[in-house]
Amino acid sequence: MGRVNLGLKLRNKWISTVASIWIQLTSGSLYTFSVYSPILKSTQRYDQSALDTVSVFKDIGANCGVLSGLLYTSATSSHRDAYLGGPWLVHLAGAIQCFLGYFLIWASVVGFIPRPPVVAMCFFMLMAAHGMSFFNTANVVTAVRNFPDYSGTAVGFLGLSGAILIQVYETLFSNKPSSYILLLALLPTINPLMLMWFVRIYDTNEPDEKKLLDAVSCVSLLIAAYLMSVIILDHLFTFGFLVRILAFLVLLLLLSLPLCIVLRAGKRDSPSIHRSLISEEHMFDDEIDAHDTRDFQEEDKDNLNLSQAMCSVNFWILFFAMACGMGSGLATVNNLGQIGESLGYSSFETNTLVSLWSIWNFLGRFGAGYVSDHFLHVKGWARPLFMVLTLATMSVGHAVIASGWPSALYAGSILVGVCYGSQWSLMPTVASEIFGVKHMGTIFNAITVASPVGSYIFSVRVVGYIYDSEASRSGCRGTHCFMLSFLIMASATLLGSLAALALFSRTKSFYNQVILRRLQHSLRV
């Protein structure tokens, strides 16, 4: 009987949320490429162009997750038995790709296999990064479906991965990048394989849902503040081994707090656990029943598949806005070191900026999701409005970096980092609200393709081209190396903000008539 009760306690959407958070914590290897890129370059005898090519395939693999969306839709709609189908299948596919990709990279670096051609290394990196998109899809879409009324908040705290992996590296594998590559093959693989069974879709609507989400959110903010403090203090004073171990143990303790919160809540809400319905088809059927009374044309937007969504103007407006926002943000983080060097920043200062990027990314992701949820419930403000505001603010961040003022790179990178992270919570939730949740995994991953497209345009065709032109004439020292590039990105991001404003105008009536009515219905239930 005790085992049955324990099993019931572990079968609810709160445990699913904690499992998703913990899986995401080890899924940020894409932000740590700079840790092992030097050894990859030296052992494989790459020039900078070849290394940049490998990095491009990393971005392509991470942001082209349409296959993960197709698998998620199939796995969560074909079977009523959660053990035959469910998000765990998507995690499994991601774990296999992650292990194979990073293991083959590690084997190449240590000489376990003959040195592969650049094309093969690009494929290894593509496979490893593509696996991460499967983790992201399974966790984000499940969070949205488990918390349809607070989807922005639920998606928002799935973010601190890069900074945590950096702490693991500096604590256990400092100055051993080859061992770190092996860690990336094992840890992001084993962790999802252990936890994927808990990530499921539940059709429950609990009265204290907002309160518990706020509690988990506070813990996430506490972890972010702790990581930021550790990163800054470490760069200022250079921690010894024992201090690093102690700091890492404190981090593990903080990471266990979300589980403590939901287990305590589970003791009070055990009757609702018995009523949990795992099948996502039930939830979709309930949505259809709730929508049967609608008498307006926007109803057809609720559950579009990918081809139907791509035939809509809203899809391409959202795609364009994300190409401007995500693309320019990714181009910024990829060039932070180069910009700092041209401005005369020390390696210590530029490394601090890169290390803190993951924190700004998380704060934007969490803040935009939480704030947009709040104003949607309290004021009825349509979520695309926050895309308008964050993209406009990102444009200001690019302009600040372009100015070259003292400390402008610090202030500008914070603005761009926070607003870049904001898009990763706003875009999936907006996509789920406009196009429906049934095919959300496929649709939001198709929109995510805008990120590498925009990054390629801004990084290669704008920043890289202008930087090389300036360097060939007079060398690159000073603001002239990148000022024009960031003014172009500021203009592009402002154009993306105007596109988001058009989306807001087009969907305002839909939010008023559909989304708000759905939220009011959920609150009454």
Residue bearing tokens 């990530």: 199
Contact 65, 130 (CB under 8 A): yes
From 165-169, 283-287, 483-487, the region with the lowest mean pLDDT = 283-287
From 103-117, 235-249, 437-451, the region with the lowest mean pLDDT = 235-249
Q: How far apart are CA 316 and CA 513, in angstroms?
A: 23
- Our CA angle for 144, 225, 129, nearest 5°, is 50
Q: How far apart are CA 56 and CA 48, in angstroms?
A: 12
pLDDT band at 297 (very low <50, low <70, confident <90, very high): very low
pLDDT band at 475 (very low <50, low <70, confident <90, very high): low
Burial 65-92 (b: 16+ CB within 10 A, else e): bbbbbbbbbebbeeeeebeebbbbbbbb
3-state helix, strand, coil in the chain (%, to 5): 80, 0, 20
Backbone φ, ψ for residue 318 (5° rounding): -65, -40
The pair of structure tokens assigned to 137 is: 């899809």
Q: What's the confidence (pLDDT) of residue 239? A: 85
Q: How far apart are CA 103 and CA 108, in angstroms?
A: 9
From 139-153, 175-189, 294-308, 467-481, the region with the lowest mean pLDDT = 294-308
Q: What's the confidence (pLDDT) of residue 247? A: 93
Which of the given ranges, 54-58, 115-119, 343-347, has the highest pLDDT on average?
Answer: 115-119
**pLDDT per position as a tens digit, 32-65:** 787 888 889 889 988 767 887 888 888 889 888 8
* Mean pLDDT value of segment 15-27: 91
Which of the given ranges, 82-86, 143-147, 238-242, has the highest pLDDT on average?
Answer: 143-147
The pair of structure tokens assigned to 450 is: 């805008």
**pLDDT per position as a tens digit, 392-408:** 999 999 999 998 887 88
Closest CA to 454 of 488, 404, 481, 409: 488
Closest CA to 204 of 157, 110, 248, 270: 270
Instruction: Say whether pLDDT at 517 is over 50.
Output: yes
Instruction: Say whether pLDDT at 421 is over 70.
Output: yes
Burial 255-288 (b: 16+ CB within 10 A, else e): bebbbebbeebbeebeebbeeeebbbbebbeebe
Q: How many CA atoms lie within 13 A of 341 on its CB side?
A: 8
pLDDT band at 349 (very low <50, low <70, confident <90, very high): confident
Which of the given ranges, 6-15, 146-155, 425-434, has the highest pLDDT on average?
Answer: 425-434
**pLDDT per position as a tens digit, 193-228:** 999 999 999 877 777 788 888 898 899 899 999 999
Instruction: Say whether pLDDT at 295 is over 60.
Output: no
Share of the chain above pLDDT 90, in %: 49
Instruction: Say whether pLDDT at 291 is over 60.
Output: no
Q: What's the confidence (pLDDT) of residue 476? A: 65
Name the DSSP class of 197: G
What is the average pLDDT value for the chain, to the nearest integer?
84
From 30-39, 475-484, 486-495, the region with the lowest mean pLDDT = 475-484
Q: Write down the pTM of the prediction.
A: 0.85
Q: What's the confidence (pLDDT) of residue 288? A: 39
Q: What's the confidence (pLDDT) of residue 464? A: 77
Q: What's the confidence (pLDDT) of residue 520? A: 61
Q: What's the confidence (pLDDT) of residue 268? A: 61
pLDDT band at 15 (very low <50, low <70, confident <90, very high): very high
Contact 193, 56 (CB under 8 A): no
The pair of structure tokens assigned to 283 is: 């939830």
Q: How far apart are CA 209 and CA 166, in angstroms?
A: 33
Question: Who has greater pLDDT, 130 or 523?
Answer: 130
